[in-house]
Amino acid sequence: MFRKNMELELLIEDIGVNGEGIGKAEGAAFFVKDTVIGDRVLVKIMKMKKHYGYARLLKVLSPSPYRAEPMCSCYRQCGGCQLQVLDYMQQLQYKEKKVRNNLERIGGFRIEETENDRQGILFHPIIGMEEPFFYRNKAQFPVGTNKDGRIITGFYAARSHHIISNRKCFLGVGVNEQILTIVISFMEQYRIFPYDEESGKGLVRHVLIRYGFATQEIMVCLVINGCGLPQSEKLVEELQKLPGMASIMLNVNQKNTNVILGERMINLWGRDYITDYIGNIQYQISPLSFYQVNPVQTKKLYETALDYACLTGNEIVWDLYCGIGTISLFLAQKAKHVFGVEIIASAIEDARNNANINGIENVEFFVGKAEEILPQWYEREKLRADVIVVDPPRKGCDMKCLETIVKMQPERVVYVSCDSATLARDLKYLCGQGYQIREVQPVDMFPQTTHVETCVLLGRK
């Protein structure tokens, strides 16, 4: 009988949905973080249920041929890169299998193995990256103190607000480390204290950095628990020396909350935005803008969505959950007219502005919930749609939204998803209402993590 704190040897035979290794002993399955398929390991049981348990890795007795040496020394403590210890080609196989399994088990779909049988679903191999590190154009670093009272910045340990001190994240751009060093030196020199969550005292909460991969423009935004930053001109003077520095901002957040950014912005120097491109579309990005964090893979994902939309210049397209208009503006290049819907008002402001700076006139944006705006326009205006594109949050599409899509009967639906489980659930509903899946394309937007994006084309039966 297994019990808590017992040690045992396991052979890791599979990987769970959150990237943890799975080994079996006497009919019980054990989930072990930081292990990969093929590892023989010594573990300690931390929690035991009837038929499964959770265990902590004590020692790798015999490493798997798929095990990789993590680049980051904080890998195990941080928990942000759940798969960094797994060879990248195996990461891609894991993510492809994850999407496939969810479609089969949750959606009940039959996935074809080859492209020869076009009667079934065509499942394309996942699109990976040539360089699966240093791909993030955005980073948010909490600021605090260590046990010796020294100012540190880094990332929260998994499921906690304990900061793991680290200025060099191997997912972010190299200039992040230089910026954090400048900020910490400035705080130390002028005795500016980091925010303390327990007492509510201290000034600097987070350092937000955004970087334009195409333009090489840099934004630095300090999130502060106050209305100003003492000696801010000294910080500006140092940050200005970095090539590409375009925007230095403050964000005021005086609430006792886990939400990182407040609503009020203060411009210290430069513009209040940076610019970047995805393909030939230019975007202005503010500290509050939602913008995909991996521009290299975003271009591939949106090109897939545009290809699946199969536009000839005569189509009316609705883009639901449109954000700052990233997909909408891609679609507008080949559509007759595009309507974008997004609940966040500031995102719609950005979307309209991005349309203006690109000279795109055949696009309109609405503020509101997709599940409310779409039915209103359909029922009141009887507005048709040839193609509907959805890119919902992790929870998937609202049922009212799905019902209206079915009523509007577009020829094609393009579903972009960041969670293949809710994707499979929504596809099951749509395919029960007269649609069928034609193609599936997974895209590795977040290497070293368990997350995977998927683009799906549905057509009417």
CA dist., res. 265 & res. 286, Å (int): 10
Amino acid letter, residue 420: S
CA atoms within 13 A on the CB side of 255: 10
Give the number of other CB atoms < 10 A from CB of residue 139. Answer: 20
Of 295, 299, 304, 360, the residue nearest 332 (C-alpha): 360
The residues, any chain, with a CB within 8 Å of residue 318's CB and separated by 6 or more, are 338, 339, 340, 341, 374, 385, 387, 388, 389, 410
Coil, strand or helix at 315: coil
The two tokens of residue 421 are 């489980």
CA dist., res. 97 & res. 136, Å (int): 24
Pick the catalytic residue: 81, 221, 418, 455?
418
The residues, any chain, with a CB within 8 Å of residue 345's CB and separated by 6 or more, are 367
Give the number of other CB atoms < 10 A from CB of residue 24. Answer: 14
**Using an 8 Å Cβ cutoff, are 319 and 339 in contact?**
yes
* Strand pairing category for 218-224 and 204-211: antiparallel
| 401 counts as catalytic | no
The CB-based long-range contact list for 311-319 (8 Å cut-off, 24+ gap) reads 311/335, 311/387, 314/386, 315/386, 315/387, 316/383, 316/384, 316/385, 316/386, 316/387, 317/385, 317/386, 317/387, 317/388, 317/389, 318/374, 318/385, 318/387, 318/388, 318/389, 318/410, 319/389, 319/391
Of 151, 133, 131, the residue nearest 142 (C-alpha): 151
Rg from Cα positions in the chain: 24
Query: 365: part of which helix (H) or strand (E)?
Result: strand 363-367
The two tokens of residue 399 are 């049922």
CA dist., res. 309 & res. 231, Å (int): 52
The residues, any chain, with a CB within 8 Å of residue 305's CB and separated by 6 or more, are 327, 330, 331, 389, 414, 416, 455
User: Which residues are marked as active site?
Assistant: 418
